[in-house]
Structure 1
Amino acid sequence: MARILKLDRMEILGFKSFYGRTRFDFPDGITAVVGPNGCGKSNIGDAISWVLGEQKASSLRSDRMEDVIFNGSEGRRPLGMAEVSLHFKNILSGTNGGGNGNGHDAGPGDSEAHADDGGLRAEAAATSDGDDHAVPIPSAADGEAPAPLTITGIEEIPEVVVITRRIYRSGESEYILNGARCRLKDIQDLLAKTDIGSRLYSTIEQGKIDQVLAARPKDRRAMFEEAAGILGYKSKRRQAEVKLEAAQANLLRVNDIVVEVDKQIHALRRQAGKARRYQRLVEQLKEKRLSLARRRLLALDDDRRMTMSTLEGLRAEEVAALAGLAADEADLERLRLQLEEGESAARRRREEIHALDLEIDRIEERLRSGREQVRDLGSRIGDAGREIEALAARVSGQEARLHAVVAEIAEEEVRRRDAASARQGGQEDENGRARAVESLERGLEEARARLLGHLDTITATSGRRASLDEQLRAARAALEKLALETAELQSARDRAETEAAAHQRESAAGREREQALAAEHGARTTAVRAAAERLATADRRAEELKGRAAVLAERLAALDELERQRAGFSEGAGNILKGSAGFTPAGVVGDRLGVPRGLEKAVEATIGELLEGVLVSGTGDAARGIAYLRNSAGGRVSFVPETRGVSVAGGAAPAGESGDVPAGPGVLGRLADRIAGVPDGPVAGILARTFLVEDLDRALLMKESHPAFVYVTPQGDIVRLDGGITGGDGRALQHWLLARRAEREEIVRQMSEIAAAREESEGVLPRLRQEVAAAEDRLRVAADSVQEEARVALQRDLKLQQARTELDRIDRALPLIGGERIRLERDRDTWGSAADDLGGQLEADEAARRTMEEAIQAAAADLAARRADLERVRRESAEARAADLAGAERLLSLGRERDALQETVRDARATIERRAAERDEWTSRAGQIGAQEIALEQQRQTALAGRAEAAARDEAAHAGLAYDRSRLHAREQSVKQARAVHAALRERQQERELHLARIEADLEHLERACRDELQTTVETLRATAPPPEDALTLAEREAEVQAIRTDLEAIGPVNLMAVEQQQDLEERFSFLTAQKADLESAVASLRETIRTLDREARDRFRGAFEAIQGHFQECFKTLFGGGRAELRLQQDEEDVLEAGVEIVAQPPGKRLQKLALLSGGEKALTAVALLVSLFRYRPSPFCVLDEVDAPLDEANVERFTKLLQELRTDTQFILITHNRKSMEAADLLYGVTMEEPGVSKILPLRFE
């Protein structure tokens, strides 16, 4: 027995145009929804799709999912939530899971969710991922259902199932199953197991028929797959393929890892052997190196003592050698100074001789230059004379040519004036002939245009004549038809008038009853709203108080935790309070003080960092705490011993012992009197001498009159004993301690107030809920009465409206028909007369056309003759213009030659004048240079005499310098020998120092080696007993160490963790080998599962396709009254699971053709036949049809409703329509109206 959920009713609240809670009851059979356009009919179908899990806003005719919430109207505010609930009843079908109720065998149509054969169980086990657990379904809210059950296929589904979906303005949404929140997947699983699921053909809206027909064959196949029940197979096959790919990928990775781990194990076995041998050699090496280090240390110590003794003797010899060397170097320096003075005088003499040599060379150079200039000037003077003679001869020849060119220019100008006069006369003749030709051309074009216009007139007249004849024939036929329609309409009007009068009388009485019920309903609605508002206000108040209490409780817990952890204390205070100093402190000063609210800043300004001062029993604890903090670098802190009888800080007598106490306006009293829990000691003393004043000005005044006290304001401004003033804005460092305590006290107070308010609010809620429930009951009774009366009124108004509509139609039609008849008779007479007139006009137009054509031919012949004469004149004018252009070009050439000759003559004469002036200037310059040569020769002789005298003085001084140089050389040799002796001593000393440094470096190196490599020190080695003497030398012992090191190096890199790594890898290899076997088994199992799924899916699809094919052919013949149609699988696909579905149809009297060639009505009928075939094969529990009958005519609507009647036994139909025939087929009719703009209301009407 199959499980089927029958749709019982739907409740809508705030969805699209449905403002208030609206209930739809759906009986078995057909429910129709009617109403004018825009009233919200289609919103009902959208609500069903939405609550069943539709996730696309565009499918709901919205941009965003939040748009489905009622968005307000002129009289109503927007809602914050939309809710739709579907109520199902669980019934048992007498057919098998895949049966269709019409006697077909179960099998291909079985739902994949109900399959119970072994193959499917194996497939489910192979593809299960552990997420398909049983989901408990709680009982319905009204108590009709049994105890909560689960949808696992073993336990039963409740008798009543309520599915609810809500969405809020914030975008949050929720699904509710029988009053309990759940996931969308839970609802989808439930629907799949109850034969509802997601059907492509369960909701068919406007345009869906065209989408079905226009879809590609592969897209159309989806409906057949769903009907065949293989969508689950394909989904599970995809899951199996994904898991297979993942398993294969994992297997590949595991194989790679196994191979790599095996290689690593082999490598680690060798490394482990090397590691063991390496460790043995390392131990031997350490022992040898320790023995060698002891012997090296003894040898180095002996060598260092001997080296230091030798070095002291060398340093004494070096001091004596340095003293003798210093005396020799002083005498050498004196001789060098004496020689440098003599050489300096010799350099000055040489510089004087050199200067004289330069002066002689300069004079001789000037003499040579003057002679060269004289020769050059003579050459220039000769060249200038010859150039002047040549230029004079060339100027004479060019002037003769210039006179000849001027004469030629005059002759050419005379010839051009004569030619221009003749050319002007020819141009005037040419222009006259051209104007005559243009005039003839314009006339000819105008004549042709007139002829074309006349032809258009003839054509138009002929068209009007033919149109008038056709209109005359149509008018006579229309007049005959109008006579018959008038008689029929008159008879129908008499019948409609009688029916309208009867309905009018019934409607008047019904309206009075409806108004009374509506008034009662409005009053009760107001009462419900008021009660609901009071309840909502109380609920919000209770929730608000609950939320505030929770926030305050969290804050209180946080403050307590901060207090417990001592958060915010300085590092030193935190360390002491932990008890780390060896004693237990009594807390901090701030813990003891009871500071009134508003005085926190004043107290903080007064005692400052003492707020977190640690309270101790005595100075001993304070001393221990300070020592602990200093030793552990744990920070700083102030300690406050709790002692009795402490005097006021600063040595002054405590306030109160003196009679002169600050008082007066603005003085609020002693600060200590306002604070509770002040500990004895320095804090009490500070607070005792501190007075609280209103402001800083008052504090300064009191300081002048009573300087022995401290004054502080509530804002924290303070005037101290020493006169220092502190103030300003901002929080001090320790203010958190007092503020935290004040905040905690305030929170405790608020929580107490909130608890009292919550108790009062929660006591009111039960009474308010009872009031709301009672008001809703009264409203429900009134609403039922209004709805019943409205239903009766709707039925009555529909009948009255139909009668009035018929009367209005007839009344509008009769005058129209009469007027149309008069118009047609008038048009018939007018068109006959006009046709006769047009016949005579056509004959006259033809005669005029022939006359125009003859005149155009004559004008064309005259125009051709005149064009030939014009061409001859234009050729003659062109030849004359060419001759004139040639003359102008020659005249231009002669002018350019004349200008060039004139320019050349001017340039030559200017050059002659310039060269003559240059020649005169050069002659004068040559005379001046001759006079300068005489003066320069006298200067040269004077300079030669001075140089000879200076050279004689230099020769005399050169002999004295030679003697000084010989003495300096002898002294230098003596100093060199002394330096060599000192250098030898210094070299020996450096050798010993270097040797000592090597010893020290060897000792340091030996110390580092002992510390870093042998884990010992040289002091330990020195303290160790000397090793026994043996025959081995240090070199031989080093050879032994080196041999061991060579063995270690021969081993190569060693992995010291190889042994442990080998064990770990062997364990991992065993684990991976087992995993590999499991994965190979899983891959084989998944491949077998996929093959099983493919085989069963093909069998199911073939069986379903053949059954639907039979239903489709039968439905097609029923809807078309004959013909045939066929469903075909595409032949280009080898696998039936991938082949698309094509539709071919042959309406009666036509050839077999594809869908694209059918008319619009034929396409609609074909789509209806296909959808009905799918329903017949696998009925859906319910189906929403949204104006699918709109493209059908009246006869086809009758066939369509007949098919719906056949299917109603298995399917509930919700039919949204405007068609009267479709309404007549319904068992229940819902009228949807918008009495209030933007708000939909329903009126049910059941047909008996």
Structure 2
Amino acid sequence: MFLKSLEILGFKSFADRTRIEFSPGISALLGPNGCGKSNVVDAIKWVVGEQSARSLRAESMEDIIFNGTETRKALNVAEVTLTISNENSSLALDAPEIAIKRRLYRSGESEYYLNGQPVKLKEIRELFWDTGIGKSAYSVMEQGRIDQILSSKPEERRYLFEEAAGITKHKVRSREAELKLEKTEENVRQVQGILGEVKRSHDSLKVQSEKTLAYRGLRDDVFQAELDLHLLRLRGFVQDKARRDEEAAEKARARDAVKKSIDEINLSLEESLDVVNSMESKLVEHQKTIYGLAVERAGKEKQHKLLAERVSEAKAKIDQARLRRKGAQERLEGLQDEAEEKEGEVRSLKARILEIEKNIASFESNITAADGRIRDNEAEILRAEKGIASLEAGQAEAQKELDSITDDIVRELDARLKETGYSAKERRAAEEAIDGLIAAVHARLAGKQALLEDLGRLPDYKAEDARALIEKARVDLEGTKARVEELRDLYEAYKRTTPSFIDEFLSPEGIITRKRAVDERIARIKDEIAGLKGRILSLRDENRQLAERIDEYRRTLEELRGNRIRMQTQGQAAEEALTLLKREIAVQEGVLKELENEVYLEEKRLADATEQLSDLDQEIAEIETKGRSLSAEMEKLERDIALKNSDLGKRQEDLRKKMDQLGRFQAELERIHLNLAQTDTEIRNIKENFRETYSRDLMEFEERMFEIRVPVQELRDRLQDRRAKLKDLGSVNLMAPEEYAEVKERYDFLSGQLADLEKAREDLKRITEEIRTESAELFLDTYNKIKKNFHNMFRRLFGGGRGELRLVDPDHVLESGIEIYAQPPGKKLEAISLLSGGEKSLTAIALLFATYMVRPSPFCFLDEIDAALDEANVIRFVNLLREFGRISQFIVITHNKKTVIGADALLGVTMEESGVTKVIAVRLERGDEGRPAAPEPEIDLEDEDVEYESGRELAPDGAS
């Protein structure tokens, strides 16, 4: 686990959102005083839960929000996000990376987030329990915290050892258990008070409830006796009613049998009458039918004559309609041919219009593409112009750098020349001598050139002349060699007058080489500017050509649009003509259809009339046959009617006798029903009387009515006895059982609650004691380890001596303060308050690293704790950092160069703008072997054992 990044916005001097990336190892935070380095440490403390404004060097929490400068407005929110790598799951959260965010508004509202989810401060604190991280942990060590550790009371130093021992959570849980215990004690007292009051009501209501239950038993007995008396009386009436109902049913059955006989006779009479009436009706119908047939025959003969005339007329109409249909058919065919020609013309115009529209769309697309290309070119021109401006700015900056290098060359040359004692007079003398010799050599060389030309003409000379020339050339050559040797000696002397540092200037790392590099950079920038300007000219020329092309496209578009309008006008005219033709065709088709329909109708009428003539002939023959048949049926009906009338007289006599018998049965039934009504009244009175007395329906107990076997007198005696006992009970609280049940339920509940609370109280006492015991064991074990580590770390840092930790009250390790004693080499063992500032800082560093040896914090901020150390002690401090940097991540705020040399990465903090902090990160790509060595004084020290301390009942294993 290590600190990956810190993102700050609006916190103190961080006006802009600033993200600081950290890496494992050691990072040095550099910057001048007042630029905001310590604000980074304050941001770390604040985001992990610091609630004290004074600890953040502020009067109130609102003061940590950026308050503006002369050029910037104040912000209304401060926000810090801390991102921690958790790939090894050191923190109790299932995530490879954990982001903790805290946000504060000027309104005072504060928010905490864990991986983007809102949480409470308590959850943040619990996350960092026993890790060394937190508002009171040792992950942030400032100069003020060092002073606090060394100068505060012994009890106030405990937090460092408690965090290392990992008992912070035990203390919190112990305090929570103590608070719960106090609350439980209070609850026990409250429940005991309430239970006393409830018990008094419980005992009183218990007596009343028993009396009420006895009353209810007697009352139920009274009710049961009265119920049985009512049921017995009701049973007598019910049984009498059943007997009368049976008698009435028998009379009703006899009456119904007579009624059935009467109904059968009536039905037979009705059927016979219906038959007679039907025969008489049929006789009348036959008479009417015969008369109707005579009338119908006369009508049919008349209709036959009319149909014959209609057939002749229909034939004439059919011939005329066929002639008109032929003319209409010829006219329709002519109109259809003309319509086909117009449709072809419309299709041709539409095709031409479609082609013109395609051309228009193509030209519009070309114009759009050209416009887009012009806009792209304009954008590229704008980018090129911005590039030119940027390059010109770079050129100006390079020129400024060149001027600065030139000034540096002048100053450096002047200083070096003064240092080397360089003499311009000697250099000028050497230069003049060299110039003279060079002129002499040039003169000799010129003479040698002439001599060579003479030697080239040797064939024209005699042998003696040639030998003389050769000898002269030899002598001149010897003289030239001597002059050259003299010139070489003079050059060596001249070189000695040239300062040696010139070579340094001309070396690859020299200032002249730097100047040449800047000159080349300026030349490259000029070439790039020229290229961009050429590109701008090319793009503008392309835009001009594109604009001309767009104008040409637009002229062509206007022509195409004019042609489209003309074609559309012609097409519209053709379509209108086609529409008129289609309407006329429709009219002709309608006329033709009407004529065809007329022919069809006339032909149908002809066929119908012909068919009707045939039917009429057949119907007239049928009428004659039917008339003869009806006359025979009428004679038979008259004979049957006379027989039926004789039978009807006999059945009417039987009906009169049955009616007399029915009257006698009906009188008997009415008498029985009157008796039943009287019985129903008695039954109803019994039920009403019971309902008025008990507000209940007597028929609820209908089943019991037939189960009662107790005599009436015995029931009356029992009723009298129970009423006397009720009178002896006196007044009774009828609600006592219910009230007692409620009170008893509450009494039992409170008794259970009291038992639960007493058990919880004992459990909390046990848990608190277990937590204290475990915390004491952890604390004492960690304290003894830190004590030994502190002694050995003190000897290492001081090169000897003695550092000692002591418990002020060993018998109470959880409350005891811790004294720190130090004995630098050559001094007496004394309290740390008597040490020098450097010795105090070194002692605090020894204690910090002694703690890290027991429980290292994943990361640690050290704020100028090396400020009071001398060079030798800084070297020891840096070497310790490098050792512990393998297991923890350190971010060191320092002004010491040796501490900076030991870092893996540098973070520069500046204030380019007044009141606004900026951070610049530099990663040093080197291993430990590439880091400058920081030798320590060679002191051969071995770890020494120290005397362990133990509590009254707690002693770690192996303690002496």
TM score, norm. by length of structure 2:
0.42
TM score, norm. by length of structure 1:
0.33
